[in-house]
Amino acid sequence: MSLREKAGQLLVVAFSGTEAPVQLIDALHPGGLIYFSDNLASDSQIAALSAAAQRAARAVGPPLLITTDQEGGEITRLPGTEGVPGGADFHGDATAARATAVSTGRLMSRLGINTDLAPDADVDTVVGGIIGPRSFGSQPGVVSRLVHAQICGYHAGGVAATAKHFPGHGSTTTDSHLRTAVVTESAATWRRVDLPPFEEAVRSGVDVILVGHLAVPALDPSGRPATISPLLNEDLLRKQLRFKGVVMTDALNMGGITSWGSSGTVAVESLGAGSDMLLMPVDPYAAVDAVVAAVQDGRISMARLNASVERVLSLKARLGLFGGQPRLTQC
């Protein structure tokens, strides 16, 4: 792969319409696509869309991670799934949470979607919090148990699972779509409350951890959000949690990160902080250009870029996208 093709593998891009974005795939060679409700009309249309997108990707490089946010509850993308439970709807019932994840995974697999941006691993600890009922509850033990159940369920259903929003969005009322959310907890409280579900996700073999536009001054006094904070990203996820999977940013078109710089600046800083995949940069072409330039001038080493590309390709291999059966962790 060329340097530019490697940089493209870091991207997860959105698109308009209900047909495969063939020109975008040809130009960028992205690592993944993300579907939203506006892209999805019916099961047959979604399956055709996924097949066409994969054909376009395979014609120029590796197959795609095709992702969507299908948490259940108030966050559903697939048509006809508006009544699927999620988060607080389970009332701590891990059996029901696992069964729902299995059925969701099977549906996604039939539609050619291979990665769910779920489950939500946030612990809801504040009245009026922005996560609210998307969380499995207010107790870290309950959330951890249901995170484990859903990761196992998604894998049984044939799709990769994503724990979000690291380092924990459950204690803030700030919407990170608008501005960087600041978690004001002490380090001790964060470790006791917010960390356990993510530790459980890693133990359960989660494939992706999504880092939020969340600052935790007790852990990184600079005030930088986890998206671009080596202390909250690389140090915590890789070194302390020993997570070996894909680290994905939350959407880079959100106000919680666009205030920190341009698409190119944020792309380079996210990669430098420890992220592997860049979700929805405002200008994906500028993001690729910036990563290429950063490698060429030595700000990002080729070894660092290769490590991220290898993690992305490894996930695709475990999903069976290069042939053979999926090899997702079963539990």
CA dist 242 → 77, 92, 123, 149, 202 (Å): 32, 27, 21, 21, 8
Cα–Cα dist 273/226, whole Å: 8
Element (H, E) at 141: helix 140-157
Candidates 116, 194, 250, 276; catalytic one: 250
Over the range 288-308, which residues count as b (16 or more CB within 10 Å of their CB) and which as e? Answer: bbbbbebbeeeebeeeebeeb
Q: Residue 133, Cβ neighbours under 10 Å: how many?
A: 16
Q: Which regions of the chain does DSSP assign to beta strands (E)?
A: 11-13, 32-35, 65-68, 115-116, 162-166, 181-182, 208-211, 214-215, 246-249, 278-279
Spell out the residues 6+ positions from residue 236 whose beta carbon is closer than 8 angstroms to its own: 166, 167, 219
> Is 175 among the catalytic positions?
no
- Is residue 20 within 8 A of residue 30, CB to CB? The reply is no
- Is residue 168 within 8 A of residue 123, CB to CB? The reply is yes
> Is 120 among the catalytic positions?
no
In one-letter notation, the amino acid at residue 155 is: H
Over the range 210-243, which residues count as b (16 or more CB within 10 Å of their CB) and which as e? Answer: bbbbbbbeebbeeebbbbbbbbbbbbbbeeebeb
Positive or negative: CA dihedral 130, 136, 138, 140:
negative
Candidates 177, 235, 283, 289; catalytic one: 177
Cα–Cα dist 9/187, whole Å: 34
How many residues are recorded in the chain? 331
Q: Could you give the residue numbers annotated as active site? A: 177, 250
